Chains A and B, each alone.
Chain A
Amino acid sequence: MSSARRARDGARPPIRLLRNLSSKLAAIPMVLVGLGVFVGGTIWTIVHSFTDSRLLPRLNWVGFDQYERLWSTRRWLVSIENLAVYGIVSLVLTMCLGFFLAALLDRKIRFEDTFRTIFLYPFALSFIVTGLVWQWILNPDFGIQSVIRGLGFSGFNFDPLYNPDLVIIGLLIAGLWQGTGLIMVIMLAGLRGIDEDIWKATRVDGIPIWKTYIVVIIPMMKPVFVTALVLVTSGIVKLYDLVVAMTSGGPGISSEVPAKFVYDTLFTRQNLGQGFAASTMMLVTVAIILIPWAYMQYREKRQ
Chain B
Amino acid sequence: MTHSISIKDLTLSFGAVTVLEDLNLDVGQGEFLVLLGSSGCGKSTLLNCIAGLLDITDGEIHIQGKNVTWEEPSKRGIGMVFQSYALYPQMTVEGNLAFGLKNARVPKAEIATRIARAADVLQIEPLLKRKPAALSGGQRQRVAIGRALVRDVDVFLFDEPLSNLDAKLRANLRVEIKRLHHTLKNTMIYVTHDQVEAMTLADRIAIMRDGQIMQLAPPAEIYNRPVNKYVAGFIGSPAMNLIPGQLDAADQQFDTGLGMSISVQGYEFTSAPITGPVWLGLRPEHVLSGQMAQTQPVQLDAYVDMVEPMGSDTQVWAKIGKQELRFRMDGQAEVAIGDTVPIGFDPARLSLFDKKSEARL
Contacts and interface: CB of A to CB of B under 8 A. Distances in A.
A and B form one complex? yes
Interface of A: 1, 5-6, 8-14, 19
A13 B72 contact: no
Nearest to B73: A1
Contact of B69 (A6, A13, A19): A13
For the complex of A and B, the 3 pairs showing the least CB-CB separation, nearest first, are A10-B71, A11-B67, A10-B68
Q: What secondary structure prevails in chain B residues at the interface with A? A: loop
A6 B71 CA distance: 9
Interface string B21-56: 000000000000000000000000000000000010
B70 A1 contact: no
A8 B68 CA distance: 11
Interface string B71-87: 11001100000000000
Contacts of A12: 70
Contacts of A11: 67-71
Interface string B177-192: 0000000000000000
A14 B72 CA distance: 11
Contacts of A1: 72
Interface of B: 55, 66-72, 75-76
Contacts of A9: 70
A150 B194 CA distance: 83
Q: What secondary structure prevails in chain A residues at the interface with B? A: loop
A12 B76 CA distance: 14
Nearest to A14: B70
Contacts of A10: 66-72, 75-76
B74 to A, nearest CB: 9
B70 A6 contact: no
17 contacts: A1-B72, A5-B72, A8-B70, A9-B70, A10-B66, A10-B67, A10-B68, A10-B69, A10-B70, A10-B71, A10-B72, A10-B75, A11-B67, A11-B68, A11-B69, A11-B71, A13-B70
A1 B67 CA distance: 20
Nearest to A5: B72
A6 B76 CA distance: 13
Nearest to B60: A11
A1 B103 CA distance: 12
Given A5-B72, A10-B66, A13-B70, 11 more contacts: A1-B72, A6-B72, A8-B70, A9-B70, A10-B70, A10-B71, A11-B68, A11-B71, A12-B70, A14-B70, A19-B55
Contacts of B68: 10-11
A6 B103 CA distance: 13
Nearest to A10: B71
A10 B55 CA distance: 12
Contacts of A19: 55
A5 B75 CA distance: 12
Nearest to A19: B55
A53 to B, nearest CB: 45
B35 to A, nearest CB: 23
In this complex, which of A8, A9, A11, A14 has the most chain B Cβ atoms within 10 angstroms of its Cβ?
A11
Contacts of B67: 10-11
Contacts of B76: 10
Contacts of A14: 70
Nearest to B62: A11
A13 B68 CA distance: 10
B63 to A, nearest CB: 10
A8 B72 CA distance: 10
A10 B69 CA distance: 6
Nearest to B69: A11
A1 B68 CA distance: 17
A101 to B, nearest CB: 37
A51 B186 CA distance: 74
Contacts of B75: 10
